[in-house]
């Protein structure tokens, strides 16, 4: 499923480029890449209820402007492993981490003709959660995401952005994430 999502996203970006060639010139097509740091606060439940609930992650982005100030973005997020002294049923410490394969749509609304813009985003992600030393210690789940933030364009190529996002996962051991992401984008 992860490979299918990634390949579908790449196919969509390339097909949008091919279709755009018929209607516009190449200078109007704006693909971009990005890198972000993400801090996530998780709402854990069930057998994971007393565990550490904050994660630090790295996120890579691949996106394209579909229409003026409307973007489609595919991303991969990988958290660092968190070790918790929380005792598992076997008396061992628990290690947990997660990965997210996401597709999000972004709308950017310029603020007073400046380089600063307000962002709204929504999408879905496949969350691959690993919790070692717990019963049924890994699971995958589709989650839905929405967020808002700010983006500052330094020039035609470089931008910085900060986004607050809520992600609903709905699993017994992981209900949701509240995240803050900051990073840089490069448009080609």
The CATH code of the domain that includes 169 is 2.40.160.20
Structural domain harbouring 64: 2-187
Residues 109, 180: Cα–Cα separation, whole Å: 20
The answer to whether the CB of 127 falls within 8 A of the CB of 98 is: yes
11 pLDDT more than 70 = no
Q: pLDDT at residue 20 above 50?
A: no
- pLDDT of 116 reads 95
pLDDT mean over 158-182: 93
For residue range 60-113, list pLDDT tens digits in order: 999 999 888 899 999 999 999 887 766 555 667 778 889 999 999 999 999 988
* DSSP notation for 32-70: EEEEEEEEEEEEE-GGGTTS--EEEEEEEEEEEEEETTE
Whats the size of the chain, residue-wise?
188
For the ranges 35-44, 45-54, 152-161, which has the lowest average pLDDT? 45-54
Tens digit of pLDDT for each residue in 147-161? 999 999 999 899 999
Confidence of residue 21 (pLDDT cuts 50, 70, 90): very low
Provide the domain count of the chain. Answer: 1
């Amino acid at each position: 499923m992860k490979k299918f999502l990634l390949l579908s996203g790449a196919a969509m970006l390339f097909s949008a480029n091919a279709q755009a060639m018929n209607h516009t010139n190449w200078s109007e097509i704006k693909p971009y890449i990005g890198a972000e740091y993400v801090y996530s606060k998780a709402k854990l439940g069930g057998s994971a209820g007393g565990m550490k609930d904050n994660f630090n992650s790295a996120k890579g982005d691949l996106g394209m402007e579909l229409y003026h100030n409307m973007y489609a973005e595919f991303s991969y997020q990988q958290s660092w492993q968190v070790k918790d002294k929380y005792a598992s049923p076997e008396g061992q410490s628990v290690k947990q981490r997660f990965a997210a394969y996401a597709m999000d749509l972004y709308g950017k609304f310029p603020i007073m003709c400046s380089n600063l813009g307000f962002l709204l985003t929504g999408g879905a992600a496949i969350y691959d959660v690993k919790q070692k030393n717990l019963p049924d210690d890994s699971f995958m789940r589709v989650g839905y995401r929405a967020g808002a933030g700010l983006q500052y364009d330094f020039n035609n190529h470089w931008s910085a952005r900060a986004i607050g996002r809520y992600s609903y996962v709905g699993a017994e051991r992981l209900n949701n994430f509240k995240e803050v992401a900051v990073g840089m984008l490069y448009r080609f």
